[in-house]
Amino acid sequence: MTLTPETVMTIGTRALEVTLLLAAPLLLVALVLGLVVGVFQAATQINEMTLSFIPKLLGLAATMVIAGPWMLKVLIGYTRELFQSIPGLIG
């Protein structure tokens, strides 16, 4: 396998897939918590900016604790796969 435009596109596509896979849990948690806090603020008419920041911060920290090992495993697997393909790409 040599470094053709198709190979570069495959590597780039795989990198974007891994990026989306790693970002999805954090983005989904932030989206859900933002929506819940927004509904709570609308229902109680409390318009404090820091009220939405603290739950998101705690939710993202909890998500990192829960999904962090999986995210690290995915990232290490992709990096290992990429490094192992280097000799085939230049040879």
d(CA 87, CA 70): 28
CA torsion sign, 36 to 39 to 41 to 43?
negative
pTM of the predicted model over 0.85: no
The residue type at 30: A
pLDDT tens-digit map of 14-66 = 999 999 999 999 999 999 999 999 999 889 888 887 888 899 999 999 999 99
83: pLDDT confidence band, cut at 50, 70 and 90? very high
Query: 91, 72, 82: which is closest to 8 by C-alpha?
Result: 82
- For residues 43 and 31, give the distance between their C-alpha atoms in angstroms, rounded to a whole number: 18
Q: Report the Cα 29 to chain-centroid distance in Å.
A: 11
Which sequence spans correspond to the domains of the chain? Answer: 5-90
